[in-house]
Structure 1
Amino acid sequence: MTMLVATILALPLAAAMLAVIFGRHGAGLAAATCAVQGGAITALIVVVAQEGTVTVESGGWPAPLGVVLQADGLACGFLAMTALVMAGVTAQGRVQFASPKGETRAAWAFWPLALLLWGALNVVFLSRDLFNLYVGLELMSLVAVALVAIDGKAETLAAALRYMLVAVFGSLLYLLGVVLLYSAHGVLDIGLIAARGAAGPADIVAASLVTAGLAAKMALFPFHAWLPPAHSGAPAPASAMLSAMVPKAAFVILIRFWFEAVPDLASAAILMLLGALGAAAILHGGVMSLRQSRLKLVIAYSTVAQVGYLLLIFPLAGGESAAQPWAAGAWTGGVLHALSHGLAKAAMFLCAGVWIASLGHDRLDGLCGQARATPMATFAFALAAITLMGLPPSGGFIAKYLMLTSALASGQWFWALVLLAGGLLTAAYLYRPLAALVATADVAPPSAPWDQQIAPLVLAAAAILLGVASSAPFEFLQIGYPQAAVRGLE
């Protein structure tokens, strides 16, 4: 079991180094890594499903002397989603980032950066040590900045610089909070911090700093200004990774922190504040998406809105709600939404990449006729839109249904109104690109290779499958922590 977890952590990092050395074979290395990682993650999921949470102590030393890695339902869910997105990005990126003679910087650098990002995310999903989480988070942020700036254009360099400043700001806040926790408790392991009880004034300040830092990394309102230009300016495969995977790393740490490390600090006021920030993100991101004229900007502002849903699980499943029957639905709904959003948003950005490659732009008024020219990509975009709108039978529907029923069961009807308003806004801003795609063009638009349309279709279909077969993911996500979900099911 130790070798299995070590493979999942080390393989992308080793492949990234090989991609630097053998730059012309980066796409092949990424494809091979996807195949091996897919098998390793599948094997880990089977073991966790059969035996429960898997814990690995590095070097055989328990915490605090050693670093503890843990694979539970939450970690495995995000490992699987990330692997699927990386497979889709590899399939589409092999054309855009091929390495012909006279290779460009982007063609050489993309594959090492993509593999490094994957490795950093795996570190975040499996780690139980707050400093290890910081290392993974920082590596992820630095690589993400490089991916934004990979084409070297002036506008993307400006977006990357803005992203870097926010990322550094978030990292400093997070690290300062971790230092305060260490000074108060002398340990960094999440389980040991919880066992020692974090309830003093220093703990409150530390938790506030950690949360603010992670909010900046997630692009949570009002720390979101860097995200739209960064995601819309990056190449489509990079945008898919940035939107689908990067915010989820900070989200996973936020869940681990508030539900496992410092659950005693989760007062009603703090949880309501987190929920209010999520509600503001949903409404602001939805309204801003309605005002955009470019497809990638619509999708980017949609990410701002969709991230807001993830914060609603804190008032619905945290604090005094943790032992209530609705907590399981709220927590699992939020996690399912994160997984569904990752798959659907990656599909959308890859679809945008198909149309940019064939048309040379992503203006909404120039997408007419693409339903006939690129039917698979259009269908994939429609499936992804169904997921984000929360329509059956998608994973987004199950996620929003669980959160909605939890809000009503707990008497917190105002969160239900936010969920409904967010769904209406999502339908409104996604109707515009869908209407443009199926509209008749005056001149037949150019088509795109069918093999470039397969990856987004598979990812969008996977998001739908999360809803069709929702009982299995629901049960699997209960394996391990949080106790809120476990107690809620009893």
Structure 2
Amino acid sequence: MFATGLDWAAWAVAVPLVGALLAGLLPRLGPVLGLVFSLLTALAVAGAVMAVWHEGPVRAGLGGWDVPLGIALSLDGLAALMLAMTAVVGLAVSIYALGYLHSSQTRGKFWTLWLWLWASMNALFLSGDVFNIYVTLELVGLAAVALTALSGGAAALGAAMRYLLVSLLGSLAYLMGVALLYGGYGVLDLAALGAAMEPDKVSRLAAVLMTVGLLMKTALFPLHVWLPPAHGSAPAPVSAVLSALVVKASFYLILRLWLDVFPALTVPGFELFMGALGAGALLWGSVLALRAARLKQVVAYSTVAQLGYLFLVFPLMAVTPGAWQAVVFFALAHACAKATVFLAAGSLQQAAGHDRLAQLGAVMRKEPVTVFAFGIAGASLVGLPLTGGFIAKWLLVDAALQGHAWGWASLVLAGGLLAGGYVFRVLGHAFGRGPVDPDHRPVPAVMVWSTLVLALVSVALGFAGAASLELLALHGGQT
């Protein structure tokens, strides 16, 4: 019996890591092992979340070694919510992949890489020092790149190489910042750095390098050029994981650093600059999604747009300090909705043999459950009532209005209208007239129903806003 949240959290890292090893050694059993270890990982995460809920934040050195000799692990409300987000999406993706993957060779590689990625993300959310964060960030990046190239072909390999180069450049910038901080303060622990941080030139340079490196991995406009090819050409389960989870990991680090380590380094105009980048992402990504000719391109460019909301955290925190909680809830709602639309897009692509939007109408009429799931998740992306996206955008607008930031509130509303444009552009093809596609390939039931269940989770989040905010209130650092 495990006494603390960190015990559960350690299992949330160890379980998928063991699963990845076994799936690599026994590739024929990959689907069975993948499902079993996905369920066990989700149970470990549930234990960690409940422990934080009842016991509060906890922090300790790995293996009983105290900081600075030991590697610090930290579990608070923010980390717990990110673990829960990854578990919900990850479990749905694992079930979906049982029907999506057909090649035995691809199945074996997928389960090894996916469980490795899941373990790395959980370790990243729990890391309490900047160097261990670098290590887990690299593990996440390598697994994500390998998954991007999983389908083979020139397009996938080219997208994976571009992703790899950008990821390595971002990691190098982050590591240079870590070196500057260690040279200046002699510690790597987040809490110790936050307590010792001075607004000098070296610290500011380190903050800039680390933030820019993470922005590259998050694909914030105008550093987003690698994202649409990578997410659009990857297999559907991989696209869902990349857009819903992987880019959130680097955003989580940006938020954690500026909440707990760098708040003393803020200079006038910084919040406005970050907000302007977020606004650019929201507008430019939406325009490209409205113009895209392929379904997966629409969804990929919509990721570029929706990431813009996350970076409104900086201007909103300047006027309403608690606004970061609204942004984190938005990340949770977006993860469930975006994973759903990518899974639905993958099902439609598999049914039709292509994802050309203009020619998908007949297939969409033959797959009503998948289209219904896409519609529910799309409603969350738009921010329609009774969805998690509605609550998230309501919280963002409320934070802006509390600080009399009318411009940012208007931007959130405008983003919802643009999202409605590209979501209803896709759904409109399902209601057109025309013959049934004779080449329609039935989609396995496990793909259809896992997608629908995840879509319903995005609705359930519309009723879970209060609980999520209570969990975030158990943040262990500065607020």
**Normalised TM-score (structure 2):** 0.96
Question: Would the aligned equivalents of 2:366 and 2:436 in 1 still touch at CA under 8 Å?
Answer: no
Q: Per the alignment, in what secondary structure is the counterpart of residue 243 of structure 2?
A: helix
Give the whole-Å Cα distance in 2 for the aligned partners of 1:459 and 1:78: 17
Q: Could you list the runs of 5+ residues in structure 1 that have no partner in the other structure? A: 485-490
CA change 1:27–1:56 in 2 (3 A) is: farther
Give the whole-Å Cα distance in 2 for the aligned partners of 1:266 and 1:123: 28
Match of 1:428 among 397, 421, 428: 421
Counterpart in the other structure of 2:70 = 66
Q: Could you list the runs of 5+ residues in structure 2 that have no partner in the other structure? A: none
Per-residue CA deviations over 1:339-387 (Å, capped at 9, x if unaligned) read 1111111111111111111110111112214454112111110111011
Counterpart in the other structure of 1:488 = none
The Cα shift of 1:307 comes to 0.7
Q: Which moved more, 1:226-235 or 1:62-71?
A: 62-71
Give the whole-Å Cα distance in 2 for the aligned partners of 1:193 and 1:225: 33
Per-residue CA deviations over 1:126-163 (Å, capped at 9, x if unaligned) read 11111111111111111111111112101111111111
Match of 2:399 among 406, 428, 451: 406
Give the whole-Å Cα distance in 2 for the aligned partners of 1:267 and 1:95: 51
Query: What amino acid does structure 1 have at the position aligned with 2:135?
Result: V
Q: Per the alignment, in what secondary structure is the counterpart of residue 361 of structure 2?
A: coil
Give the whole-Å Cα distance in 2 for the aligned partners of 1:268 and 1:370: 53
Question: In the comparison of the two structures, how many residue pairs are matched?
Answer: 473
Give the whole-Å Cα distance in 2 for the aligned partners of 1:408 and 1:19: 50
Question: Would the aligned equivalents of 1:373 and 1:448 in 2 still touch at CA under 8 Å?
Answer: no
The Cα shift of 1:98 comes to 4.3
Match of 1:457 among 452, 456, 463: 452
Q: Per the alignment, in what secondary structure is the counterpart of residue 59 of structure 2?
A: strand
Counterpart in the other structure of 2:57 = 53
Matches within 5 A, 1:47-446: 47-98=51-102, 103-104=104-105, 106-318=106-318, 321=319, 326-328=320-322, 330-444=323-437, 446=440
Q: Per the alignment, in what secondary structure is the counterpart of residue 56 of structure 1?
A: strand
Give the whole-Å Cα distance in 2 for the aligned partners of 1:279 and 1:372: 36
Give the whole-Å Cα distance in 2 for the aligned partners of 1:355 and 1:404: 34
The Cα shift of 1:78 comes to 1.2
Q: Per the alignment, in what secondary structure is the counterpart of residue 302 of structure 1?
A: helix
Counterpart in the other structure of 1:470 = 465
The Cα shift of 1:199 comes to 1.2
Per-residue CA deviations over 1:406-438 (Å, capped at 9, x if unaligned) read 112212222112212211111111111111123
Give the whole-Å Cα distance in 2 for the aligned partners of 1:360 and 1:370: 10
Give the whole-Å Cα distance in 2 for the aligned partners of 1:332 and 1:310: 11
Q: Which moved more, 1:85-94 or 1:238-247?
A: 85-94
Q: Which moved more, 1:204-213 or 1:38-47?
A: 38-47
Give the whole-Å Cα distance in 1 for the aligned partners of 2:198 and 2:26: 48
Q: Which moved more, 1:362-371 or 1:416-425?
A: 362-371
Question: Would the aligned equivalents of 1:268 and 1:315 in 2 still touch at CA under 8 Å?
Answer: no
Question: Would the aligned equivalents of 1:27 and 1:98 in 2 still touch at CA under 8 Å?
Answer: no
Counterpart in the other structure of 1:487 = none
Question: Would the aligned equivalents of 1:220 and 1:308 in 2 still touch at CA under 8 Å?
Answer: yes
Q: Which moved more, 1:214-223 or 1:474-483?
A: 474-483
The Cα shift of 1:71 comes to 1.4
Q: Per the alignment, in what secondary structure is the counterpart of residue 247 of structure 1?
A: helix
Question: Would the aligned equivalents of 1:364 and 1:433 in 2 still touch at CA under 8 Å?
Answer: yes
Question: Would the aligned equivalents of 2:329 and 2:465 in 1 still touch at CA under 8 Å?
Answer: no
CA change 1:443–1:374 in 2 (3 A) is: closer
Question: Would the aligned equivalents of 1:278 and 1:309 in 2 still touch at CA under 8 Å?
Answer: yes
Query: What amino acid does structure 2 have at the position aligned with 1:237?
Result: P
Per-residue CA deviations over 1:431-467 (Å, capped at 9, x if unaligned) read 1111112323322563433332111111111111111
Give the whole-Å Cα distance in 2 for the aligned partners of 1:372 and 1:152: 30
The Cα shift of 1:72 comes to 1.3
The Cα shift of 1:107 comes to 2.6
Give the whole-Å Cα distance in 2 for the aligned partners of 1:387 and 1:22: 39
Give the whole-Å Cα distance in 2 for the aligned partners of 1:74 and 1:30: 27
Per-residue CA deviations over 1:32-83 (Å, capped at 9, x if unaligned) read 1121112111111111111111223212222211111111111111111111
Give the whole-Å Cα distance in 2 for the aligned partners of 1:450 and 1:372: 16
Per-residue CA deviations over 1:215-266 (Å, capped at 9, x if unaligned) read 0000011110000011010010111111111101001101110010111112
Query: What amino acid does structure 2 have at the position aligned with 1:217?
Result: K
Q: Per the alignment, in what secondary structure is the counterpart of residue 269 of structure 2?
A: helix
Give the whole-Å Cα distance in 1 for the aligned partners of 2:44 and 2:37: 10
Percent identity of the aligned residues? Answer: 44
Counterpart in the other structure of 2:475 = 480
